[in-house]
Structure 1
């Protein structure tokens, strides 16, 4: 079970970490996404920091299990809210977002199964 937990957690951390870097370096894609949703571009660094914190929290869960659980839960909430923001403006390009959400849910599930059951 540890191999599954470690694989899913590291993958989710890398995925969210790469998204955090894209937000934090000021890439055009997150800016266009914020524009499409009608949100200010000034939110990009804050959203990038949330993703970075979630990514690091997932890895910190190897040492402190509750930290990993909270980080995975936070990422699930983040992506549910992002999903709702897309639906609010009528966006139907949800494939990438769904991948991030599913990965975060998987990280939460394996974390709960490995540490708490």
Structure 2
């Protein structure tokens, strides 16, 4: 069973940073509960298919951009926190944010993304 810290890294790097549809789908199945709720300032996506569409849409509209961790994963029991940066590979990020996730039975059940002011 994956740790909270491993799930936080997988969320950022294996799902939201993954441009290959098959690899992203496999990572989603291994990282999130089937009824996961993902909330960001734009709305709420529920379930694997909606979360996959959200990640794919974000990557499709940002060619050449990558997510990178912007600090260590912080864990408090079943809650994980990871700051991130997003921008062109090898260049300063254009946006920063944080992900906060609730984990139950080794899977992310709720994920909240907050975008930090520029």
TM-score by length of 2: 0.32
Task: Work out which structure has the larger RCO, using CA pairs closer than 8 Å and 6 or more positions apart in sequence.
Answer: 1
**Structure with the largest fraction of strand:** 2
| Higher Cα radius of gyration | 1
Q: Structure 1 length as normaliser, TM-score? A: 0.33
> Higher helix fraction: Structure 1 or Structure 2?
1
